[in-house]
Amino acid sequence: MNLQCPAQATRRLMHWASRHAADMEGVGDTWIEKLAEDGVLKRRSDFYDLTAEQLLGYERMGQVSAKNMIDSIASSKGMGLRRALIGLAIPMASEGTAKRLCLAGYERVEDVAAATAEDLVAIRDIGPKAAESIVAFFARAEVQEEIAALRERGVDLDVLAEDRPVDATAAGDSPLKGRSVVITGAFTDPRSGAKISRPDVTRLVEQAAATTASSVSAATDYLLAGDNVGASKTTKAEKLGVTVVDQDQLWRWLAEANVI
């Protein structure tokens, strides 16, 4: 329960650096723990004060590793509002909550901090307890100080274009426009051949003016299926008469909608 507990503080640092938040790929949990133990990392903004020279003072830290860490931290400054909200680890506020706050039109983290519980409850799928938790979190002096410190170090805490509300007119005549979809399976970017995460696929589909849901229901228009899909969702889709769309077709639709 003690928010000043050292173990909690270290976990918050690790969460900030994680893939879904700041995505500091070159910064491992082992080093975060070591730097936290030494008092070098106390809060999230301390990441952005680290230097290669400082890191090279540690045993088993080479030039390449130090450079990778500093470069990874520097590139994370462009994280934007959605990832920042995830990284702040607000109690009772999920990754979905961060997405919904962006889609609701909040432009800056300071705008979210200024929102009332009534403002937040008006957003789809944000309940009273989550709203009250968000308000209480941003009311804490140390959180306000941390936001200011992140801003001073050049961290982008404003909404990115990819997380803004969709302009349905930009989706053209895409079959995804106005449809309710469920995404399942593993996806590969047809342009690079690289794996693409489910959250990234979700953002692309939403940019094509579709609405995403987590489970198949009678209200679902399409089940967007990548590779290695389990039988449960496809069986349910077939039972409910929901069209199953493979990823090759999905990429064609996204191209037609000028999303990729």
Domain locations in the chain? Answer: 6-77, 80-163, 168-256
- Model confidence, pTM: 0.70
Q: How confident is the model at residue 1 (pLDDT cuts 50, 70, 90)?
A: very low
Written out in words, the top-level CATH class of the domain with range 168-256 is alpha beta
Q: Please determine whether the domains at 80-163 and 168-256 fall in the same fold group of CATH.
A: no
Higher per-residue confidence, 56 vs 163: 56
What pLDDT score does 69 carry? 95
159, 102 contact by CB (below 8 A): yes
| For range 214-227, the mean pLDDT | 91
pLDDT top residue among 257 and 34: 34
DSSP code of residue 76: G
**Would the pLDDT of 249 be above 60?**
yes
Handedness of CA 125, 127, 130, 134 (dihedral sign): positive
Mean pLDDT of 164-193: 80
Please report, rounded to a whole number, the percentage of residues in the chain having pLDDT higher than 90: 65
Please write the tens of the pLDDT for every residue from 106-164: 999 999 999 999 999 988 778 999 999 999 999 999 999 999 999 999 999 999 988 87
Task: Output the CA torsion 154→157→160→166 (10° steps).
Answer: -170
- Which of left, alpha, beta for 62 (phi over 0: left; psi -120 to 50: alpha)? beta
CA 149 to chain centre: 21
Unique residue bearing structure tokens 């995404």: 183
Q: Say if CB 38 and CB 13 are below 8 A apart.
A: no
Output the average pLDDT for the chain. 90
CB 176 within 8 A of CB 257: yes
Distance CA 42, CA 40 (A): 6
* pLDDT at residue number 4: 58
Residue 191 in this model has a pLDDT that exceeds 90? no
Q: E-assigned strands of the chain?
A: 180-184, 187-188, 195-196, 211-213, 222-225, 243-246
**pLDDT score of 157:** 98
Quick one: average pLDDT of 24-40? Answer: 94
Computed over its alpha carbons, how large is the radius of gyration of the chain? 21
**Domain 80-163 belongs to what architecture?**
Orthogonal Bundle (1.10)
How would DSSP label each residue in 5-36? -HHHHHHHHHHHHSTTTT--TT--HHHHHHHH
Point out which residues pair with 182 in neighbouring strands: 213, 223
pLDDT band for 166, please (50, 70, 90 cuts): low
173 vs 187, higher pLDDT? 187
The CATH H-level superfamily of 6-77 is 5' to 3' exonuclease, C-terminal subdomain (1.10.150.20)
